[in-house]
């Protein structure tokens, strides 16, 4: 009875009839007979009642059988059935979902970028903080600033940035300064006028003072500018600040001259080049007072440590086909006694470059340890010499070292107010 009531809700129950036109065709299942009558294009089947239930089924010929169209006979004619369109499924709607997903992703990335810029706002209005490391010029291109995040591979055994890392940051900002003003041509900092005359810049002296070393994860801001140095030289200065506190961490000053890359001889600044770079010179004093102390004459009898057989690797060469000046610092440390490296940290370094080092050169590193005038406070001074195996001097250097536990209290000379 329950089945009968449920079925009757969808299929009407036909009362029993004694129509004589219905003829039994045969037994279906347990004593159920079926009758079929043709009506037009369809087939109508009538089934006798199962109890009081009678089922009527209407059927149509399928439009396709095994991929071929079929028709229904109507008299002597055959009518083809038009195939129905394919159903709309998730798969054929996928391009619409892809466009929606792309729009949502674009909005999300734009919102994330705005949030990051807001989160990295400088603590002080006169400081530029750039989380993406892109530089910026100020004062009509006279001053250039760029941020650097200290990476894990840029720190040493003391968990602080190495001196080579700091010097690489200085070199990077110097080149980006020239590039940002459209003066960078095919050389390492060469202007278009210099390239026409086969001239390149070479550094003759570098002084660097470190008040505090940044650590992994710190973000530092490097500021640089150039000034004239005599008639045929250029001075470039740098200040390195902690973007979180604004404190000056490092100060550096360098002197540069021009050299002909074909003859490898020093050259005067041509007037064409002077017109290119002269407008970028500023009238600021050096951020580091010149170290006028004389270098000792080092040889096998006056040194405590010598390292021989140092050769440049291919990666040590720059685009001017000579050893990059930062590499010299690593060679100097090759002959520095391990007791100095393990118990003290470098506080200042002065380098005088005498000649270039090429890819086939073989270098010797000499170091002499000198007691500082401070006495027993733990400060020491080292004298260094890099020379070719044949005897020619490449670099003379002086380094000052302080105890690793020493806390720097000295206040650095700030960048002039008008350049901030």
Catalytic residues: 320, 322, 357
CA–CA dist 251, 194 (Å, integer):
28
Give Cβ neighbours of residue 123 (< 8 Å, ≥ 6 apart): 244, 246
User: Which residue has 């919102």 as its token pair?
Assistant: 111
Question: Residue 395 has which token pair?
Answer: 């670099």
Cα-based distances in Å from 252 to 49, 56, 165, 172, 178: 106, 100, 14, 14, 18
Decide: 354 and 296 in contact? Cβ < 8 Å. Answer: no
d(C-alpha 384, C-alpha 366), whole Å: 6
Distance separating alpha carbons of residues 399 and 350, to the nearest angstrom: 7
**Comparing C-alpha atoms, which of 167, 122, 123 is closest to residue 350?**
167
Q: CA–CA separation, 73 vs 394, rounded Å?
A: 105
Residue 4's SS3 state is: helix
How is residue 165 written in tokens?
Answer: 């890392």
Backbone angles phi, psi at 140, to 5 degrees: 60, 35
Provide the token pair at 211.
């008040």
β-pair partners for 381: 370, 400
Q: Cα–Cα distance between 227 and 239 in angstroms, integer? A: 14
Residue 183 token pair: 């003066």
């Amino acid at each position: 009875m329950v089945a009968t009531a449920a079925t009757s809700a969808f299929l009407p129950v036909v009362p029993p009839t004694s129509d004589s036109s219905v003829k039994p065709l045969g037994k279906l299942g347990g004593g159920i007979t079926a009758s079929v009558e043709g009506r037009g294009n369809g087939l109508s089947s009538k089934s006798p009642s199962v109890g009081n239930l009678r089922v009527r089924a209407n059927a149509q010929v399928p439009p396709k059988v095994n991929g071929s169209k079929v028709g229904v006979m109507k008299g002597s004619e055959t009518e083809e059935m038009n195939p129905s369109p394919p159903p709309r499924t998730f798969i054929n709607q996928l391009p619409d979902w892809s466009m929606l997903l792309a729009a949502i992703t674009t909005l999300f990335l734009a919102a994330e970028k705005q949030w990051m810029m807001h989160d990295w706002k400088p603590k002080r209005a006169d400081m530029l903080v750039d989380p993406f490391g892109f530089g910026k010029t100020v004062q009509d291109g006279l001053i250039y600033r760029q941020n650097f995040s200290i990476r894990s591979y840029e720190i040493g055994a003391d968990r602080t940035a190495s001196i080579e890392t700091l010097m690489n940051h200085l070199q990077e900002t110097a080149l980006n300064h020239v590039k940002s003003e459209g003066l960078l041509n095919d050389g390492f900092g060469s202007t278009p006028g210099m390239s026409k005359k086969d001239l390149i810049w070479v550094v003759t002296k570098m002084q660097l003072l470190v008040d505090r070393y940044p650590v992994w994860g710190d973000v530092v801001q490097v500021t640089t500018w150039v000034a004239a140095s005599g008639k045929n030289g250029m001075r470039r200065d740098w200040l390195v600040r902690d973007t979180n506190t604004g404190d000056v961490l490092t100060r550096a000053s360098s002197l540069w001259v021009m050299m002909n890359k074909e003859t490898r001889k020093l050259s005067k600044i041509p007037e064409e080049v002077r017109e290119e770079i002269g407008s970028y010179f500023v009238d600021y004093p050096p951020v580091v007072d010149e170290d006028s102390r004389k270098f000792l004459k080092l040889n096998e009898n006056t040194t405590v440590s010598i390292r021989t057989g140092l050769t440049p690797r291919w990666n040590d060469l720059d685009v001017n086909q000579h050893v990059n000046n930062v590499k010299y610092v690593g060679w100097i440390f090759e002959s520095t006694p391990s007791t100095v490296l393990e118990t003290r940290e470098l506080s200042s370094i002065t380098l005088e470059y005498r000649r270039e080092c090429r890819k086939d050169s073989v270098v010797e590193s000499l170091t002499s340890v000198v007691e500082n005038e401070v006495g027993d406070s733990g400060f020491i001074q080292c004298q260094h010499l890099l020379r070719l195996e044949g005897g020619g001097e490449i670099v003379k250097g002086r380094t000052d070292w302080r105890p690793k536990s020493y806390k720097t209290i000295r206040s650095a000379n700030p960048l002039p107010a008008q350049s901030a």
